Amino acid sequence: MHNLLEILSQIPDPEIPVINIVELGIVRDAHMTSENEVEIVITPTYSACPAMFNIEEDIIKLFREKGIAAKVITKISPVWTTDWMTEEAREKLRVYGITPPEKGADKDHLEIRKKCPRCGSSNTMQISRFGSTLCKASYQCSDCLEPFDYFKCH
């Protein structure tokens, strides 16, 4: 699976191109089913994520270029969690201007102030539950006044 994950890490998330689909944690399994066929299991960040069709196409295309047929299976259970994201992905999101969730954030039902990815302040407020994509919410920092996205847990 290790080599397959290296190949899959070449595919950026269509909505957040600074991270790849492996770092995002949507690749749940990857294994060879025969000498020239692979099966990839993915879980969407949201069940209605519009990027999943593009991701599936990108997987099939990438493996086809390597002479390997790819079968992509989408599983919605267990539900994707931000805990599946790598630490590298969290840092890349922060540098990109999106506040990543802390590990375990989807289990914590308390509303915790989101840190501004630009100045680090926790003096922030939610502007909208819905951001530029389904998986993000819009926030604004009350200190530096910059708007930013927060990557939602579910």
Gap between the Cα atoms of 73 and 17, Å rounded: 22
Cβ atoms 69, 38 nearer than 8 A = yes
* Of residues 115 and 133, more confidently modeled: 115
CATH number belonging to domain 2-74 = 3.30.300.130
Q: Across the chain, what does the average pLDDT equal?
A: 88
pLDDT in tens, 14-55: 988 999 999 999 999 999 999 999 999 999 988 778 889 999
Helix (H) or strand (E) holding 23: helix 21-24
Give the predicted TM-score (pTM) of the model. 0.76
Residue 154 is predicted with a pLDDT of 55
- Average pLDDT for residues 118-130, to the nearest whole number? 90
pLDDT band at 105 (very low <50, low <70, confident <90, very high): low
pLDDT at 109 over 50: no
Distances (CA, A) of 65 to 1, 6, 60, 118, 150: 19, 15, 9, 39, 35
Outline which parts of the chain fall under CATH 3.30.300.130.
2-74
For residue 131, pLDDT over 70 is answered with: yes
Q: Read off the pLDDT band of 2 (50, 70, 90).
A: low
